[in-house]
Amino acid sequence: MSVRIESTDGIMRAKLSGEIDHHLAGGMRTALDEAILREKPRALLLDFSDVSFMDSSGIGLVMGRYRLMNESGGEVEVVGASPQIRKVMHLAGLDKLARFS
Amino acid sequence: MKTSNSMKLVFPARSVNEGFARAAVSAFVSSLDPTVEELVDLRTAVSEAVTNCIVHAYRDRDGDVCVTCRAYPERRVTVTVKDRGCGIEDVHKAMEPLFTSMPGGERSGLGFTVMENFCDRVKVRSVPGKGTCVTLEKRFKDLR
């Protein structure tokens, strides 16, 4: 599991990799929240292109970050999610909250 | 119905074993040659069922999770995930989308919804104070 974070011009790109389940989501959440609170980006790009598996723990991960970004009027965009990951996100209606590309 | 093959795993309810349980079930059913989508659907459902045992059934105490996989003729498989944890008072309520007994945490309350959407059938038997048994059933499409 890893989270690689890069920021430019108020846009934070977080590249997640590995499998997102209950065991690993906690570490990703901490890494993301620390960076968001420190840098206060206006947009967060969650890059799922290297995520090989995700269960509903990933829904909590995206929704929680959406809430955090929303508090300061920021946006969340999900990029690179595989069809299977999109299927899980779709069940939760995440496609109505975050932008997908 | 007579099973063609079966396997049984028992492991402690620790979150590090969630990935192990998914991998073991995937390896067991791979001889049936499911599609990638069918395999990931089942892996995801198993992950939800095992996570429920760890997060809810045992909370912070120790206990074992027992996963039994059975393959039947006509490419039908069942995965039973059983714990001896706290049990569920109201199974119908627990299965409602977005219901969570842990509001404020980051559990989305969609575990059973994922299981029901990614499997053909989900059966839950639970006795408060004794434990829960979740059976996931999936039929893989015929091979061409």
What tens digit of pLDDT does each residue of B32-81 get? 999 999 999 999 999 999 999 999 999 878 999 999 999 999 999 999 99
Describe the strand order of the beta sheet including A99-100 as a list of residue ranges: A2-8, A11-20, A43-54, A75-79, A99-100
Query: Is 0.90 surpassed by the pTM of this model?
Result: yes
Domain extents in chain B: 5-139
Q: Show residues of chain A in contact with B47, CB under 8 Å.
A: 21, 53, 55
Q: Does A23 touch chain B (CB under 8 A)?
A: yes
Residue B104 has pLDDT above 80, yes or no: no
**Residue B52 is a catalytic residue:** yes
Q: What tokens does B103 get?
A: 């509001």
Q: Kindly report the backbone phi and psi dihedral angles of residue B124, in degrees, each rounded to the nearest multiple of 5, phi listed first.
A: -125, 125
- Residues of B whose CB is below 8 A from A23: 15-16, 18-19
**Residue B123: both structure tokens together:** 């059966």
- CB-based contact B106 A61, cutoff 8 Å: yes
> Nearest 5 degrees, angle CA A69-CA A70-CA A73?
95
Question: Closest by alpha carbon to A52, among B24, B23, B138, B30?
Answer: B23
Q: Which domains does chain A have, with CATH numbers?
A: 2-100 (3.30.750.24)
Count the helix, strand and coil residues of chain A and give each as a percent rounded to the nearest 5: 45, 35, 20
Q: β-strands B5-12, B64-72: how paired? A: antiparallel
pLDDT < 70: residue spans in chain A: 1
Asked if this assembly's ipTM is beyond 0.90, the reply is: yes
Residue B118 predicted with pLDDT over 80: yes
Q: Is B107 a catalytic residue?
A: yes
Residues of B with CB under 8 A from a CB of A: 15-16, 18-19, 22, 37, 40-41, 43-44, 47-48, 51, 54-55, 105-108, 110-111, 113-114, 117
Given the candidates 3.40.630.10, 3.30.565.10, 3.40.50.300, 3.40.50.720, the CATH classification of the domain at B5-139 is: 3.30.565.10
